[in-house]
Structure 1
Amino acid sequence: MTRLTLVMLLTVLPFLPVLARTDDVGEAANLVGLGGALVLWWQVVLGVRQVSERLCGDRLRVVALHRWLGGCGAFLVLLHPLLETIANHQDPAYLVVLDFSWVESTYTSYGRLALLLFLALWLTSTLLRSAIRHRLWRSVHYVSYPLAGLVFLHAYGIGTFLTDLPWLRAYWLALAGCLALVTAWRLAVPLWAPRYRVVAKTRLTPTVTQYTVAPVGRRRVRRPAPGQFCYLRLRALSRAHPFSVVGQDEDGALTFAVKRAGPFTARLERLGRDAGLRLDGPYGTFTRQAGTDDRPTVLIAGGIGVTPFVDLVRRHAGPRMSLTHIVASPAEAAFRDELRDRLGRRYTAAYRADPRARYFVCGSPGFVEATTGDLRADGVRRDQLFTEHFDC
């Protein structure tokens, strides 16, 4: 995160000189608006994993930062129009009435449209999140791209600081250009993602199927480290889904174990031999510190949450590594017998706090939250805990 934090601070520096010029409500509104736009810019950048991965390899930390910035952005984006309303002595209708009759009102209306899009984005990500399906939430999230574009147009057309300070205006245009490039990258990456084909398919349990895929041609994803995951998509422009790599060979073939849990995994089950896929990755740093020294490594898996640990155990199983595989049902007990053989007595049904151990917890969000809560209550320190979760 150090590199990402440094880059974020550098993007803020050009705005610091204008703080001295902020001495009334109108200028405060402009500064708040610029700050909100920069937060939105970073949210779009961090939302493109192929870009953010180059700044920080820990995808879960990036997602957490993305969510935190969402709260900051909401405050700034909502405060800006309120301050503008006060500064211009307008009634509340000023926030939503669109007017494209002349130049300044057109740029102002770009801001009003951005506000309406932001409200839709904010409401579906907060108050309405538990009431809507993930697919709808994700679709609404795509408005962040036109939203950011409208915000930059709005500020460019009527922003006081951008009009008065040519160097700040040039910086603003550079940010807008970077935003356009990031958006283009986001749209184009699926088209050149490496192609793979299904070479083997094995039913491990009634609900878990193992797939081995081999690269088509010379292009392939980087060799995954233990515990990393890749995104799979069935077609170039279809939605990608993340799955942990449970095996790999020297020829570049990768193996995934997938629990049947929705429409995408049902479509995967219907794939035949030589069916095509596209892969993106690998991502993640979840188990990077597991087995790196003489400290005990405790792996705690909930159901199919065992998959990030499979390749790790196969490569690095040792006397100081143990696994607690908490299985919701026998149908999810994939790899149980193999891991028992590799770890022997170190495959347990419970865990015990150890001040020297590192604890790695993977499973559904509810499982991870409950398990980490139990570990913390047992005295495990926060710096000993490493977690990864996914929605089945």
Structure 2
Amino acid sequence: MTRLTAVMLLTALPFLALLGRTDDVGDAANLVGLGGALALWWQVVLGTRQISERLCRDRLRVVALHRWLGGCGAFLVLLHPLLETIANRQDPTYLVLLDFSWVESSYTSYGRVALLLFLALWLTSTLLRGAVRHRLWRHVHYVSYPLTGLVFLHAHGIGTFLAELPWLRAYWLALAGCLALLVAWRLAVPLWSHRYRLVARDRLSPTVTQYTLAPLGNRRARHPAPGQFCYLRLGPLSRAHPFSVVGHGEDGTLTFAVKRAGPFTARLDGLEPGAVLRLDGPYGRFTRQARLDDRPAVLIAGGIGITPFVDLVRRHAGPHMSLLHVVSSPAEAVFRDELRDRLGPRYTEERPLVPRARYFVCGSPGFVESTVGGLRAEGVGRDQLFTEHFDC
């Protein structure tokens, strides 16, 4: 995370150098707009896992930073047009009046279109998030790409600082070029992602199936560490879905245990051996701390949230490790017999409180939130908690 923070600060230095040049409201509006654009730029970068993973392997921290930037970006992006309205002594209609009749008004209107797109993105991600289905939210989220492009185009056309400072204009164009390359990269990644063939499928319970995938050709994903996950696609143009790796072989085979809980998992459940899938990964560092030393590790899983712990227990089970698997039905009690055999009495029926232990919690967002809340209430510190969740 330190490396990522350092890189982000470096990209902001050229704009921080402008603080001494803000003499009036118009200058402040320009600087705020540039800052908002940089926040949007970093949101797009962090939203591209193939890039952000190279800057920080802790996926949850990257997601948290992505959301934090969304709040900062929202403040700056919304403040910029308000300051421009004040600086130009205009009424509120100035914010939404589209005019493409001449060059300067066209560049201004690009910013207004970007503002409208941003409002749609912001509303569906905050105030309306609970009322909007995940699929619609995801599709609306895609507007961040044209939105950021319009913001860069808007500032390039009428930005005062960019017009006055050639070095800043060159830097701005470099950021825009990186954004274009990043979008192209994201569109092309599915076409050259690893191809794997389904070689076996085993029904673990009425709702959970185990899939074993073998690499096609010489290209294969690197061996995953315990607790890591991969993104699976049914085709090069289909949406990717993350699943924890429960095992891997020296020949490159990967095993996943998936609960049927939606359209994608239903299609996955209908595949027969021989089907070809696309794979991207592995990612994540969720259980890394449980393997660093012999400090007590308490694993708490809700339902299919057991999957990140399976390989960890198989490879690193010891007297320092205990596991609680909370299930709502017998169909979710997958891997119970194997894990109980490996852990013995440390496969617990109640949540253990262990001094100085690290707690690893995985399950649905509601399960993780309630479990962490209970642990915090019982005195477990934030630095002892490691969480991961999935959306059914």
Bucket of the pairwise TM-score, normalised by the shorter protein: over 0.9
Which residue identity is paired with 1:208? Answer: V
Q: Aligned partners of 1:100, 1:292: CA distance in 2, in Å?
A: 60
SS at match of 2:238: coil
Q: Identity of paired residues, percent? A: 83
Q: CA RMSD in A?
A: 0.7
Tell me how far 1:358 sits from its aligned partner: 0.9
Displacement of 1:191: 0.5
Question: What is the distance in 1 between the residues matched to 2:134 and 2:247?
Answer: 29
Match of 2:256 in 1: 256
Partner of 2:240: 240
Structure 2 residue 64 is matched with structure 1 residue 68: no
Matching of residues 306-317 of structure 1 within 5 Å:
306-317=306-317
What's the CA shift string for 1:307-352, capped at 9, x where partnerless?
A: 0000000011111111011111111111011100110111001123
Rounded Cα–Cα distance in structure 2 between residues aligned with 1:248 and 1:352: 30
Partner of 2:227: helix, strand, or coil? coil
Distance 1:370 1:314 in 2: 28
Q: Structure 2 matches for 1:357-376, cutoff 5 A?
A: 357-376=357-376
| Alignment deviations for residues 143-169 of structure 1 (CA, whole Å, 9 cap, x no partner) | 000000000000000000000011001
Moved more, 238-247 or 326-335: 326-335
Q: Structure 1 CA distance, aligned partners of 2:235 and 2:140?
A: 22
Which residue identity lines up with residue 27 of structure 2 in the other structure?
Answer: E
TM-score, with structure 2 as normaliser: 0.99
**Shift of residue 41 of structure 1?**
0.3
Give ranges in structure 2 of 5+ residues lacking alignment: none
Any conservation in 1 of the 2:298–2:352 contact (CA below 8 Å)? no
Which residue number corresponds to residue 291 of structure 1?
A: 291
Q: Which residue of 1 aligns with 2:156?
A: 156
In 2, Cα distance between the equivalents of 1:27 and 1:218?
Answer: 56
Residue of structure 2 equivalent to 1:387:
387
The Cα of 1:357 is off from its aligned counterpart by: 1.0
Runs of 4+ in 1 over 4 A off after TM superposition: none
Aligned to 2:11: 11
CA contact (8 A) 2:209 2:257 kept: yes
Pair 1:227-2:239 in alignment: no
Partner of 2:329: 329
- 1:264: Cα distance to partner? 0.2
- Contact kept, 8 Å, 1:354 with 1:380, in 2: the verdict is no
Instruction: Letter of the 1:236 partner, please give it.
Output: P
Give, in whole Å, the separation in 1 of the partners of 2:342 and 2:31. Answer: 60
Q: Distance in 2 between matches of 1:134 and 1:52?
A: 23
Unmatched tracts of structure 1, length 5 or more: none
Could you tell me how far 1:203 is from its partner in structure 2? 0.5
Give the letter aligned to residue 305 of structure 2. Answer: G
SS of match in other structure, 2:101: coil
Structure 1 residues 171-228: Cα deviation after superposition (integer angstroms, max 9, x where no partner):
0001001101111111000100010010000000111000000001111111100000
Equivalence for 1:353:
353
Shift of 1:353: 2.1
Secondary structure at the residue paired with 1:211? Answer: strand
What is the Cα deviation at residue 354 of structure 1?
A: 2.1
> 2-side partners of 1:380 and 1:320: how far apart?
17
Q: Which amino acid aligns with 2:384?
A: Q
> SS at 2:18's partner residue?
helix
How many Å apart are 1:291 and its aligned residue? 3.4
Distance 1:231 1:354 in 2: 34
| Match in the other structure for 1:196 | 196
Classify the secondary structure of the residue corresponding to 2:198: strand
Alignment length, in residue pairs? 392
Name the SS for the 1:30 alignment partner: helix
**Which SS does the other structure have where 2:236 is aligned?**
coil
Q: Which residue of 1 aligns with 2:95?
A: 95
Corresponding residue for 2:48? 48
